[in-house]
């Protein structure tokens, strides 16, 4: 865990005021520190940033339960956000003055318990063409003998962005056929790693020849390695990043939390997001009008992403993770 206290304040008097109302933000992005620093420079409001990867961050939020230590939570995955909303841990009903794209509008929950910030895809295939020059044209191809022992993916119980990939396959193929697909992958030598970074390291060092990872990580990895190609086989499951304010925020803290959310969804906040982590999380699709994606994101060949209903799939996560652990991981 990294605990980063960002207190770039604009004078001693402002410093004393801000310290008394420091925002605690739990976030899981490579750019979150840069955004928090830019926010503090702009507003003088101090931010106590707790940065963890998505899975451990979600686990910490759940462990804190009814005694949360955070004012704002920000991570990939509206399925997990919907669960927090169902547990009455989010302050709902507020929407800043924004201009979402049609996709962004479609991801906005009716109860306004959380707000979509950006969009990646939960399962993108990255292939080492020096070892496997013939690219697979479908997910089904990975169950064939040519790919035996050559494919790796993340564990959905540890990697927060991976559960939506698994859920997307189950949604697309149906529960029975979808589960059978992953069991066929296991029979064909599937290797399961904890997170994007570990899976990509296995790809880099030749332990596998194809990695199923989040699109932002795949784009960042491939950007400096021309021998690696991205395959966006359908279905590509949409993975929105979402930000929410917790129910513990009241009074001045609530107002400052809203200012943080507004900053994240402003041109200045989006600029910080797109510049701070070009090797991974900065490679997202913006959901606000007037904000262009990084060039590599615009070239990603995804036409009709699969949109999961968080009300349906959020409550299923624990059971599906348990099935994956029992039938695919072991």
Please state, rounded to an integer, the average pLDDT across all residues of the chain. 93
Q: Please answer whether residues 28 and 74 qualify as being in contact, where contact means their C-beta atoms are separated by less than 8 angstroms.
A: yes
How many Å apart are CA 282 and CA 83, to the nearest integer? Answer: 26
CATH number, domain containing residue 51 = 3.40.190.10
How many Å apart are CA 196 and CA 128, to the nearest integer? Answer: 16
Same-domain status, 268 and 229: no
How many Å apart are CA 321 and CA 91, to the nearest integer? Answer: 28
Q: Is the pLDDT of residue 19 over 80?
A: no
Q: Please answer whether residues 173 and 235 qualify as being in contact, where contact means their C-beta atoms are separated by less than 8 angstroms.
A: no
Same-domain status, 115 and 67: yes
At 25-39, the pLDDT tens digits run: 999 999 999 999 999
Same-domain status, 140 and 201: yes
At 229-265, the pLDDT tens digits run: 999 999 999 999 999 999 999 999 999 999 999 999 9
Same-domain status, 94 and 155: no
Q: Is the pLDDT of residue 1 over 70?
A: no
* Residue reference for tokens 């939506």: 164
Q: Indicate the number of domains in the chain.
A: 2
Q: What pLDDT, on a 0 to 100 scale, did the predictor assign at position 305?
A: 93
Average pLDDT over residues 194-214: 97
Same-domain status, 220 and 247: no
Same-domain status, 179 and 217: yes
CA angle centred on 119, ends 118 and 121, rounded to 5°: 155
At 146-170, the pLDDT tens digits run: 999 999 999 999 998 899 999 999 9
Q: Residue 36: name the closest of 277, 290, 273 by CA.
A: 273
Q: What pLDDT, on a 0 to 100 scale, did the predictor assign at position 299?
A: 87
Q: Which residue has the higher pLDDT, 91 or 12?
A: 91
Q: Is the pLDDT of residue 8 over 50?
A: no
Question: What does the DSSP 8-state code read for residue 271?
Answer: H
Same-domain status, 18 and 75: yes
Neighbour count for residue 235 (Cβ, 10 Å): 21
Same-domain status, 248 and 217: no
Same-domain status, 187 and 233: yes
Strand, helix or coil for residue 153: strand
Burial class of 16 by CB neighbour count within 10 A (0 to 12, 13 to 18, 19+): exposed
Q: 23 is in which domain, residue-wise?
A: 2-119+240-298
Q: What pLDDT, on a 0 to 100 scale, did the predictor assign at position 13?
A: 38
Same-domain status, 224 and 318: yes
Same-domain status, 59 and 135: no
Same-domain status, 218 and 314: yes
């Amino acid at each position: 865990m990294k605990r980063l206290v960002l207190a770039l304040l604009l004078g001693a008097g402002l410093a004393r005021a801000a310290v008394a109302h420091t925002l605690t933000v739990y976030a899981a992005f490579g750019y979150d520190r840069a955004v928090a620093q830019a926010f503090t420079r702009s507003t003088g409001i101090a931010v106590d940033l707790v940065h963890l990867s998505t899975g451990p961050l979600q686990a910490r939020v759940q462990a804190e339960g009814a005694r949360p230590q955070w004012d704002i939570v920000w991570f990939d995955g509206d399925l997990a956000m919907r669960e927090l909303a169902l547990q009455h841990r989010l302050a709902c009903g507020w929407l800043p003055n924004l201009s979402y794209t049609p996709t962004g509008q479609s991801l906005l929950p009716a109860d306004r318990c959380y707000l979509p910030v950006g969009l990646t895809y939960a399962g993108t295939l990255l292939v080492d063409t020096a070892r496997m020059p013939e690219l697979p044209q479908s997910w089904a191809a990975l169950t064939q003998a040519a790919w035996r022992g050559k494919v790796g993916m993340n564990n959905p119980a540890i990697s927060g962005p991976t559960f939506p990939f698994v859920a997307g396959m189950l949604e697309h193929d149906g529960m029975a056929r979808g589960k059978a697909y992953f069991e066929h992958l296991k029979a064909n030598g599937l290797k399961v790693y904890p997170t994007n970074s570990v899976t990509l390291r296995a790809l880099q060092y030749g332990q596998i020849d194809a990695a199923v990872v989040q699109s932002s990580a795949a784009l960042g990895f491939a950007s400096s390695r021309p021998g690696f190609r991205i395959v966006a086989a359908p279905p590509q499951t949409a993975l929105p990043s979402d930000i929410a304010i917790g129910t513990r925020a009241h009074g001045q803290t609530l107002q400052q939390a809203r200012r943080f959310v507004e900053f994240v969804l402003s041109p200045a906040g989006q600029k910080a997001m797109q510049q701070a982590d070009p090797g991974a999380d900065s490679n997202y699709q913006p959901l606000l009008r007037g904000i262009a994606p990084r060039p590599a994101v615009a070239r990603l060949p995804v036409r009709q992403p699969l949109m999961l209903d968080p009300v349906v799939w959020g409550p299923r996560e624990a059971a599906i993770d348990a099935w994956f652990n029992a039938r695919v991981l072991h």
